[in-house]
Homo-oligomer: A and B are copies of this chain.
Amino acid sequence: MYFSSDNWAGAHPKISERLMAASTGFAPAYGTSDLDRKVAERFNAIFERDVEVFFVGTGTAANSLALASVTKPGGVTFCHHEAHIHTDECGAPGFFAHGARLMPVSGDNAKVDCAALEAEIARFPEGGVHFGQAASVSITQATEFGTVYTLDEIAAVGEIAARNRLPFHMDGARFANALVSLGCSPAEMTWKRGVDILSFGGTKNGCWMAEALVFLKPELAREMPYLRKRSAQLFSKSRFIAAQFDAYLENDLWLSLAGRANAMADRLRAGLSASATCRNAWATTANEVFAVMPKAVMDKAFAAGARFYDWPQPKDQPGLLKEGEVLTRLVTSYATEAGEVDALLALLG
């Protein structure tokens, strides 16, 4: 009963097999192999336009390099205060971008509120040298709270970014889960709604280490080869990342893996809705589920071998928990079995 995180899962057999197959023979290093090129082209097809793709090692690297590529001196990136870049990356964005700052924006369900975003951007008028300068906007899709921006919501943020001439970044560590949840195309969820740069995650969805930084607006990528090398994210045997993506993107494997994860989350959500003791903390639609439960129930589940995290109560939801209750996070993955979900639900009661 592993619901701690989707990165506790291993690697899907098709991805492992492709890795194995790629392990023989010789190939040019540092991203110049035929396989690297072939996979880069596949990204063009998936996004229905010419994109620039850079393989990197971690989601934090993808996000930090994305923001660094469009930073400015005294620069500010606007993101939700629950964004991964803000809460969980040990300040990496600031380090990569020479002290540039993240300016947290409020909004329900871990989604940036457009009015709040505009108000924050307005605090950085052009020429306001003491304040610094607006540099970019970043959203997380799916969010840290298991919610998903609708296409209209993305477009609304994109419109604000464009009007302020700010590059628009999407942290897609769980891009596939969001995509499956919305049932749209990658193009529709990104550049058709104004997204310029995408952190395209594979690791949480069945790869063992495959992250891609995708420039939907390739002219923003000019310095990226140097930014990536300088930050130690250019892999000599890059073809092994390419191999993972090659299998991942083939025959829509990635979508079916995300579909599986989401379906298991649906099963969990339904079970929680019917639970006598627990409840969904808020509506979620991707592969993260947040449950409120009595602490005693959580402790019992832990004792029985269930693995998941209790979670800090969001500041903006003061009435969420009743006496004795805790907030928990339950994450499903491509590897989650229905039986495990049912066993957990049985434990929770």
Which chain B residues lie closer than 8 Å to A232 at the CB level?
56-58, 60-61, 64, 89, 92, 96, 231, 233
CA A304 – CA B197 in complex, angstroms? 43
Q: Answer yes or no: A44 CB below 8 A from chain B CBs.
A: no
Q: Contact between B92 and A101 (Cβ–Cβ < 8 Å)? A: no
One of A107-115, A128-136, A149-157, A161-169 contacting the partner: A128-136
One of A68-76, A258-266, A267-275 contacting the partner: A68-76
CA A16 – CA B240 in complex, angstroms? 11
Q: Answer yes or no: A349 CB below 8 A from chain B CBs.
A: no
Q: Answer yes or no: A186 CB below 8 A from chain B CBs.
A: no
Chain B: minimal CB distance from A341 (Å) = 14
One of A21-29, A177-185, A280-288 contacting the partner: A21-29
Q: Contact between B27 and A8 (Cβ–Cβ < 8 Å)? A: yes
Question: Which of B60, B96, B131 lies in contact with A87, CB distance below 8 A?
Answer: B131
One of A221-229, A245-253, A292-300, A319-327 contacting the partner: A221-229
Q: Answer yes or no: A90 CB below 8 A from chain B CBs.
A: yes
Q: Answer yes or no: A256 CB below 8 A from chain B CBs.
A: no
Chain B: minimal CB distance from A312 (Å) = 8
Q: Answer yes or no: A302 CB below 8 A from chain B CBs.
A: no
Number of copies: 4
How does the 8 Å CB contact mask read for A50-90 relative to B, with 1 for contact and 0 for none? 00000011111100100000001111100000000001111
CA A61 – CA B60 in complex, angstroms? 14
With most chain B CB atoms within 10 A of its CB, the pick from A8, A225, A229 is A229
Question: Which of B127, B129, B236 lies in contact with A7, CB distance below 8 A?
Answer: B236
Q: Contact between B72 and A226 (Cβ–Cβ < 8 Å)? A: yes
Q: Answer yes or no: A98 CB below 8 A from chain B CBs.
A: yes
Q: Contact between A95 and B99 (Cβ–Cβ < 8 Å)? A: yes
Which chain B residues lie closer than 8 Å to A10 at the CB level?
22-27, 237
CA A123 – CA B272 in complex, angstroms? 28
Which chain B residues lie closer than 8 Å to A59 at the CB level?
236
Q: Contact between B11 and A240 (Cβ–Cβ < 8 Å)? A: yes
With A58-B233, A61-B232, A92-B230 given, is the CB distance from A23 to B13 under 8 Å?
Answer: yes
Which chain B residues lie closer than 8 Å to A89 at the CB level?
130, 229-230, 232
Chain B: minimal CB distance from A207 (Å) = 8
With A89-B130, A91-B132, A236-B203 given, is the CB distance from A230 to B73 under 8 Å?
Answer: yes
How does the 8 Å CB contact mask read for A6-18 relative to B, with 1 for contact and 0 for none? 0111111101110
Q: Answer yes or no: A208 CB below 8 A from chain B CBs.
A: yes
Q: Contact between B9 and A74 (Cβ–Cβ < 8 Å)? A: no
Question: Which of B56, B96, B129 lies in contact with A229, CB distance below 8 A?
Answer: B129
Question: Which of B26, B101, B230, B312 lies in contact with A335, CB distance below 8 A?
Answer: B26
Which chain B residues lie closer than 8 Å to A60 at the CB level?
229, 232, 234
Rank and list the top 7 A-B pairs by shortest CB-CB distance, nearest first.
Answer: A94-B99, A95-B99, A61-B232, A7-B236, A74-B90, A2-B26, A11-B23
